[in-house]
Amino acid sequence: MIQFCDVSKTFNEGQANEVKALKNIQLTIQAQDFVVLVGANGSGKSTLLNALSGSFKINQGKILIEDQAVNHLADYQRSKWIARIFQNPLSGTAPDLSILDNFRLAALRTKAKGLGIGISHSFKKEVKEKIALLEMGLENKLAQKMGSLSGGQRQALTLIMAVMDEAKIFLMDEPSAALDPKSAKNLMQKAQQIIQEFGLTCLLVTHDLKDAHQYGNRIIQMREGSIVKNLDSSQKKALTLNELFGWFGE
């Protein structure tokens, strides 16, 4: 589904503040893999996600999605494959627009969708049905402004937008970091349920090692722009929480 072939990214190349954020990354991700990324601050986790979604051009290497090289594609062109949730519940949505209008915007962002989304009753019905999956009662508040919702509610809706997009790849960069423990747990559980139900391929960045242990079928540790650990399904199953904590004591 996703391949990083010898991918490097250097910020501020040749300057005093040069940072080698990704160094010769080799990584293959199968369809429906749920890969958890851990690592210290600044180790390159977000940069890896950003390289995939096309926030910038990489300096070296190739990125393939479904065997197609995407290096030359801009981020909006990759959005037919990729949806994302960020750490900050405010990013990715328009606070002054209603829930329904935010869904319209999200749908328009992916080019594959035709015109006429704005007036379609079936679109509204689909939005309602999908939001109902969250079991948070938000399907009855479609006219409410996005900005008036809690962080947890907003993150959950972003999750649903990803599914509406028909994107197959779902990137989550510390999605629950800004949420209280109960909302964080709720979001992660809903995310897992929806990822499974829709067969998404997923990358999750988290500093919560309990979440990293509990979720996903693969786990990767990054350090200083390199992948230093890359566990497959059976290795991840065998990994204990204590061992995982041990990775950070080395």
Minimum distance of Mg ion from residue 44's CB (angstroms): 9
Binders of Mg ion among 42-71, rule CB under 5 A?
Answer: 46
Minimum distance of ligand ATP from residue 41's CB (angstroms): 3
Residue 21 contact partner, candidates Mg ion, ligand ATP, none, CB within 5 to 8 A by sort of partner: ligand ATP
Minimum distance of ligand ATP from residue 177's CB (angstroms): 9
Q: Indicate the SS3 state at residue 156.
A: helix
Minimum distance of Mg ion from residue 179's CB (angstroms): 16
Minimum distance of Mg ion from residue 103's CB (angstroms): 27
What are the phi and psi torsion angles at 39 (to 5°)?
Answer: 150, 160
Using CB under 6 A, list all residues that contact ligand ATP.
11-12, 19, 21, 39, 41-47
The closest alpha carbon to 222, from 11, 10, 32, 41, belongs to: 41
CA dihedral 165, 27, 207, 136 (to 10 degrees): 20
By C-beta, is 138 or 187 nearer to Mg ion?
A: 187
By C-beta, is 46 or 158 nearer to Mg ion?
A: 46
201: which residues sit within 8 A by CB, 6+ positions away? 1, 2, 29, 30, 31, 32, 33, 34, 168, 169, 170
- Name the helix (H) or strand (E) containing 18: none
Which residue is at the shortest CB distance from Mg ion?
Answer: 46
Residue 41 contact partner, candidates ligand ATP, Mg ion, none, CB within 5 to 8 A by sort of partner: ligand ATP
- Provide the β-strand partners of residue 7: 25
By C-beta, is 25 or 138 nearer to Mg ion?
A: 25
By C-beta, is 33 or 174 nearer to Mg ion?
A: 174
By C-beta, is 9 or 80 nearer to ligand ATP?
A: 9
Burial class (CB in 10 A: 0-12, 13-18, 19+), 127: buried
120: which residues sit within 8 A by CB, 6+ positions away? none
Residue with tokens 């890969």: 35
Residue 122 contact partner, candidates ligand ATP, Mg ion, none, CB within 5 to 8 A by sort of partner: none
Name the residues that contact Mg ion, by CB under 5 A. 46
